[in-house]
Amino acid sequence: MHITDIMRGDSPMFSFEFFPPKTMEAAETLYQTIRDLESYMPHFVSVTYGAGGSTRDLTHDLVERIQRTTKLDPIPHLTCVCHNEEEIEGILLRYAKSAIGNILALGGDRPIGIAYDKSRDSFQHAIDLVRFIRRFNESGAHPDRRGFGVGIAGFPEGHPATPNRLLEMDYFKAKVDAGADYIVTQLFFDNRDFLDFRERCALANIHIPIIAGIMPITSIGGLKRMAELAAGARFPAKLLRALERCQSAPKMVRRVGIQHALEQCDDLLHNDVAGIHFYTLNRSDATRLIFDSLGIPRHRSAQASSV
């Protein structure tokens, strides 16, 4: 389903992120997570994309499997890294043939463990990828006359490559104007950062939906991984203090982390957020607890999955 159709309702959107499994055991965990979360009928689910070919084919396969065997709307991530125009066009044609409605166009992370020269990439920045997808849409190769809906990433705490926040917003506005339909933010732990980002977008005349990225902390190790994934995420002192007090008690760490995410979601909903995107790490428990605590209704009747 095209993102403009998904966003048509007045209620906030809810979505989940998955990443492709690399082992059979991880695959079983993921498919159980998909079965668990499908009953919540999210507006869409996204699937991450590995740099330098690490999980690219796995991404395509997982997206198509979700499309084929569930009632979920999968949105694949697509990145600039290590790609030329011919390769990107081939991926877009494959997704169009599978009736995938949307793409999340990202700059992508530098690949680890392989030689990489960014200057050789056809797409130097996410804006180049957004423009290319728009040109693809105009070619009429997608079964939907509108082509792919295009999403981009937002950075409430600032883009790590652009410390000048005024210049950063100029770049971001240009990326939106290149053809973005919606924004999914990087994870954050202080809602003030998100609300300020949303206000700065409004001042820049950016009015497409901004979906907030939330990742519940479930362990101290997970906290450290989040800091790496989010390129230096800022953790509020109140949260760090609470985690320090119980760092030797894993169950309490999990409880504190989930409670913080729950409070974030509740506050975002009271501030009329367009949507909340849960970074699940391929596990359903924390997300389900938050959904159930918030009393979020399914946006359509649940149907069985064959994943």
Residue scoring higher pLDDT (235 or 225): 235
Q: What is the pLDDT of residues 103-141, one digit of tens each?
A: 999 987 766 666 666 667 778 889 999 999 999 999 999
Average pLDDT of the chain is 89
Average pLDDT over residues 86-95: 95
Nearest Cα to 278, choosing from 220, 217, 234, 224? 217
Q: How distant, in Å, are the alpha carbons of 92, 154, 187, 207, 287 from that of 230?
A: 27, 12, 7, 24, 19
Per-residue pLDDT at 159: 86
Per-residue pLDDT at 75: 98
Percentage of residues of the chain with pLDDT beyond 70: 90
Question: Helices (H) and strands (E) in the chain — how many of each?
Answer: 11, 8
Per-residue pLDDT at 302: 39
**Cβ partners under 8 Å of residue 260, min gap 6:** 189, 216, 217, 239, 242
Q: How distant, in Å, are the alpha carbons of 25, 44, 140, 145, 260 from that of 2?
A: 33, 10, 15, 10, 32
DSSP state of 2: -
- As a whole number of angstroms, the distance between CA 225 and CA 201 comes to 28
Q: How confident is the model at residue 307 (pLDDT cuts 50, 70, 90)?
A: low
Residue scoring higher pLDDT (102 or 27): 102
Which two tokens mark 78?
A: 């697509």
Sign of torsion, CA 204 75 262 232?
negative
Q: Which domains does the chain have, with CATH numbers?
A: 3-294 (3.20.20.220)
Per-residue pLDDT at 81: 77
The answer on pLDDT for 269 being more than 70 is yes
Find the largest Cα–Cα distance for the chain.
58
- Alpha helix locations (H) across 204-279? 220-229, 237-245, 250-270
Which two tokens mark 61?
A: 């396969």
The answer on pLDDT for 170 being more than 70 is yes
The answer on pLDDT for 6 being more than 60 is yes
Per-residue pLDDT at 301: 34
Per-residue pLDDT at 231: 64
Q: What is the pLDDT of residues 284-299, one digit of tens each?
A: 999 999 999 998 766 5
- Residue 155: count other Cβ atoms within 10 Å of its Cβ: 20
Instruction: Name which of 19-33, 223-237, 254-268 the model is least confident about.
Output: 223-237
Nearest Cα to 154, choosing from 180, 128, 183, 179? 183
Per-residue pLDDT at 222: 81
**Cβ partners under 8 Å of residue 225, min gap 6:** none
Percentage of residues of the chain with pLDDT beyond 90: 72
38 flagged as catalytic: no
Helix, strand or coil for residue 47?
strand
HSE of 188, CA atoms in CB hemisphere, 13 A: 25
Per-residue pLDDT at 119: 65
Do the beta carbons of residue 220 and residue 253 sit within 8 Å? yes
The answer on pLDDT for 56 being more than 80 is no
The answer on pLDDT for 300 being more than 50 is no
The answer on pLDDT for 54 being more than 70 is no
Q: What is the pLDDT of residues 171-196, one digit of tens each?
A: 999 999 999 999 999 999 999 999 99
Q: How distant, in Å, are the alpha carbons of 15, 90, 144, 235, 276 from that of 12?
A: 10, 34, 25, 25, 8
The answer on pLDDT for 68 being more than 90 is yes
DSSP state of 122: S
Q: How confident is the model at residue 303 (pLDDT cuts 50, 70, 90)?
A: very low
